[in-house]
Every structure is written in C-alpha cells, then in structure tokens.
Structure 1
Amino acid sequence: MGGAKAKRMPRAVRERQMMDAAVQTFGQRGYQAASMDEIAELAGVSKPLVYLYLNSKEELFVACIRREAKALLDSVRAAVEPGLPADKQLWAGLLAFFTHAAENPDGWAVLSRQARTEPFAAEAALMRDEIVAYVATLIGAAAEETHRQTQRDPELAERDVAGLSQALVGAAESLAIWANETPGMTAWESAATLMNFAWAGLGNLMRNERWSPR
C-alpha cells in the first residue's frame, strides 16, 4: 500500500520533499559531511530514487543553493512596496530578509556558509549579485525621492550606489549569521539594528552631507 501511494505522488511533490530533506541535511551537517543516504532516509525514499530525480550530490547541492536563493530574494521583493517612502521600502526589505533567514535557518546556513566554499562559490556569488543589484535599485529610488521632494539632486555617482549596496548587503549577511546563532535575537531587532546603522548615513548622503576625515 505504501509503495503504491508513493508511486502516485506527483513528481513535483516528491522532488520538493527530497529538496527539503537535502536543505535540512546540508544546512545542519555541511556539504562534505552530508550523505545521500541521510537525505534519502529523511525524505522517506530510496537512495536510487534521489539519484534518479536529482542526479549527483553536487548537482543536488547546486539545486538547493538556487532554490534557497530564489526564495530569499522573492521574499524581499514581495515585501517592498514601490509606492512607499524610501526609508519604509528599505525597512520592509531588511525585515523580510532577516525574517526569511530566521524562519529558514537551514536554507540560510546553506547560502551563508556552505555555498561559499569551492566549487560552489560561483553559485553563491550569483545569488549575492542579485541581492546587491536589488538593493542598488532601492538606493536609487531613495535618491529620486529626495530629488522630487527637495528639488536637489543627491550627488550619488554610480560607483557610490554600487559601494553602498555592497556594504549594506555585507552587513546584512553578517548580522543574519550572528542573529541566527544568538538566542532571543529577533528578525525585527536585527532589521532595526541595521536600519539604525545604515539609514542615518544614507539620509545624510541624500542631503549631500558627506563625512570626510579632517
């Protein structure tokens, strides 16, 4: 009976079960220590079935990186409403980022730790580049909003926007890793911490008030 039910299960559902098991195993055990036997057992299927659906361990891990990266970026994009003021957009994006990382600790561990190792670093870089590019659009939107409200054009060169985006994403990644390992730290607190750290400086830049060493 159990075998018959398994055969009738749609392929997409079965694949999702195996992917969920893979993300949990890779996230908690690491790529090198994780085994296909563990993943198959956790998914409730045979190891040959995992290979049949998802090929090699390396290909399975790449698929996990791509799935978790897409889920993270989709969460951030869905949370940001274009019509909101710039600070509200950034706040919504940060809160969504930290909430997703907190609610999906195994997926975040795959992205933030396991995926950074060779030969998967290129996949992790693609994910990071997408997030950085999205943050750059938020900073650009903030500059446009400032221009509309004050008729002053913030002197933000493309290089400034690129550098600020890299810095903000790097800070968010580090803070999310720390927050997930710190008991009692909430996504709201993490987002508020980074917002307080970043927005005051961004707000000054929008007014062309730059800090410089004396």
Structure 2
Amino acid sequence: MTTSPSRGVRTQRMPREARRRQLLQAAHQVFVAHGFHGASMDEIAEVAEVSKPVLYQHFPGKRELYIALLDQHMDEFSALLQQALNSTNDNKLRVRATIHAYYEFIARDSQAFRLIFESDLLNDEEIGGRIEAFNAKFAFGIAEVVAEDTNLPPGQALLMGRALAGMAQVSARYWVDLRDEVSMEEASKLVSRLAWRGIGRFPKES
C-alpha cells in the first residue's frame, strides 16, 4: 500500500494495466473539463486518488498522458470505422454504416469525440499530425468506395472522401444537441441519404 500525500488516502496496488486505465479515465475527466493547457498533473492525480509519483511512474508528463488518452480514443473509433468499412460489399450500405459509426461513437462518449476533433492542440505538430493521419486514413477508405462507384480519378475521389468524412463528423457533433428530437438512427440515415445521393450525381461512365 502507498499513501497519497495530497489526499491522505491509502492507494490500493493494482495490476499495471488496470492502473493505467484508471489514470486515463481520470485524465479524460480533467482534460475534458479544462483542456490540455488548463489541466494539471496535480489535479489528475487527485481525481485518480493516487500520489503524483504513482502517476509519473506511468506517464512521464502531461503531454505523454494526453497523447496516450488521444490514442486510446482514436483506437476505439478506428475499430468502429474499420468494422463499418468491412461490413459489406454494397457501397451504398458501406457509406451508411461508416456515417453511422460517427454517430455511434459520439453517442457513446461525446467528450471523447470532441477530444479528437476539437483538441486545443490541433496546431501542435505531433498531436495535430496524429489526428490528421487518423482523418486521412478513413477519408481514403471512403474515397475508395467513391472511386469504385463513380470511376472518378483518385484525386477527385479523395476530395469527395474528405468531404463525406467531414460531413459525418460535423453533423454528428451538432446532432448531440438535437438527440431528443432526432434519434441516432434517423439522423445517420438522413445524412447517409444526402451523401449517397451526392455520389449518385457522378454515374459511372461506360
């Protein structure tokens, strides 16, 4: 057992991975409440009910903790999006499933969604680069669907893939405030229809 000097409580020993999950949950609360710049390792340790030395055993600094949390959320979201892209060979249903994944993720945890897409470190080269790589990966996946269904050149298909991903992202963010009026299923289907009808304006050439 160890004692937290800041709270005077006894901290039960945990397996390393369980402790890491606990610390990331505490960090999530603090970063959501205050953003990166307003958060402190002192407060994260206090929320986790551990001493600062325990926190620093797992994460050497606030930046590393923030990156670990961001990576965790992007991994969770990536799994949803990849499952959607792989769920069917029908491109219309694939677009619908992919857009639905954005809504499903924000419905599960709107703050995790905002940490990815509204981070106050988007201008940071490393962190912004991580988020851009994430966005690019799935925009490219959507672009492959667009190219297959329209025969558009790769550059044009990628531009449309970016546009469709952006439409899903932004509409999902605003849907959170309307969820009492519009269900998740209704919202994702509405945006999917809009997206698919847009793709349908570019028929394959024989």
Q: TM-score range by the shorter chain?
A: 0.7 to 0.9
Q: Is the 8 A contact 2:30 2:39 kept in 1?
A: yes
Deviation at 1:138, TM superposition (A): 3.0
SS of the residue aligned with 1:205?
A: coil
TM-score, normalised to structure 1's length? 0.81
Query: Are residues 1:123 and 2:120 paired?
Result: no
Separation of aligned partners in 2, 1:47 and 1:179: 39
Query: Are residues 1:195 and 2:192 paired?
Result: yes
Match of 2:74 in 1: 69
Unaligned runs of 5+ residues in structure 2 are: 4-9
Separation of aligned partners in 2, 1:138 and 1:24: 37
Which residue among 117, 133, 140 is the counterpart of 1:133? Answer: 140
4+ runs deviating over 3 angstroms: 1-5, 79-84
Match of 1:166 in 2: 162
Separation of aligned partners in 2, 1:122 and 1:115: 13
Separation of aligned partners in 2, 1:5 and 1:32: 27
Deviation at 1:207, TM superposition (A): 4.1
Q: Deviations over 1:22-67 (max 9, x none)?
A: 1232123211122222222222222221122011111111112211
Separation of aligned partners in 2, 1:136 and 1:190: 22
| Structure with bigger RCO (C-alpha 8 Å, 6+ apart) | 1
Write the letter of the residue equivalent to 1:122.
G
Q: Is the 8 A contact 1:112 1:177 kept in 2?
A: no
Separation of aligned partners in 2, 1:168 and 1:10: 42
More displaced 10-residue stretch of structure 1: 123-132 or 11-20: 123-132
Separation of aligned partners in 1, 2:145 and 2:56: 41
More displaced 10-residue stretch of structure 1: 13-22 or 126-135: 126-135
Q: Is the 8 A contact 2:102 2:169 kept in 1?
A: no
Write the letter of the residue equivalent to 2:201.
N
Q: Deviations over 1:128-165 (max 9, x none)?
A: 1122122223334x52xxxxxxxxxx431111211111
**Root mean square deviation of aligned Cα:** 2.3
Match of 1:39 in 2: 44
Deviation at 1:115, TM superposition (A): 5.1
Q: Aligned pair in 2 of structure 1 residues 44, 79: CA closer, same or farther (>3 Å)?
A: farther
SS of the residue aligned with 2:36?
A: coil
TM-score, normalised to structure 2's length? 0.83
Identical aligned residues as a percent = 23
Separation of aligned partners in 2, 1:207 and 1:137: 14
Write the letter of the residue equivalent to 2:137.
E
Deviation at 1:14, TM superposition (A): 0.7
Deviation at 1:86, TM superposition (A): 1.1
Q: Is the 8 A contact 1:79 1:93 kept in 2?
A: yes
